[in-house]
Structure 1
């Protein structure tokens, strides 16, 4: 089952995971990770490239992108950063899915 489906109670358009194995106990990081993990390899590289404007590349190369986003922008603002990048990539459905997240992100 897809994490966003568990959180929002609705089906999503991306592929699903069969269990919650690998997810953290932090629902904000889990929601962000779920979105990012559904990017194909080319989109993930583009995502990291766009994130490079916000976070130094030397840090991005060695760290988990989601952990670094949350550490840099806090849980409250991390959703906005990811949504903005997804919109720049024209991944509007993924951005919309994240914006419907019930967490206390600042939009």
Structure 2
């Protein structure tokens, strides 16, 4: 059974490189001021680093919630629903 970090990583692996950049942009710009991740921490971050930064900043459940919100903003509802289902069944 995969853990939440693995589910998050698998979700980000489904994003094309440009979509990952947009996802990271949302983490640095569209999250409340006290909850955003500084640009410097995501500037050269790959998918693994992005997941680690999110879990460190928001906790596992918070990272899932932020991911779901951002995926919806990016109109990637199918991927969001797949993540929601995986985490729910975990």
Shorter-chain TM-score range: 0.7 to 0.9
1:57 deviates by 0.2
Give the TM-score taking structure 2 as reference length. 0.80
The one of 12, 31, 40 aligned to 2:7 = 31
Structure 2: distance between partners of 1:51 and 1:87? 13
Residue 88 of structure 1 is matched in structure 2 by: 73
Q: Point out the structure with max Rg over C-alpha.
A: 1
Matches within 5 A, 1:1-107: 27-53=3-29, 54-63=36-45, 64-103=49-88
Q: Scaled by the length of structure 1, what TM-score is found?
A: 0.68
TM superposition shift of 1:43 = 0.5
Q: What corresponds to 1:4 in structure 2? A: none
Which of the pair has the greater relative contact order for Cα pairs under 8 Å at 6+ separation? 2
RMSD in angstroms over aligned alpha carbons?
1.8
Unaligned runs of 5+ residues in structure 2 are 30-35
As a proportion of its length, which structure holds more helix?
2
Structure 1's unaligned 5+ residue stretches are 1-6, 8-25
Give distance in 1, aligned partners of 2:53 and 2:70.
15
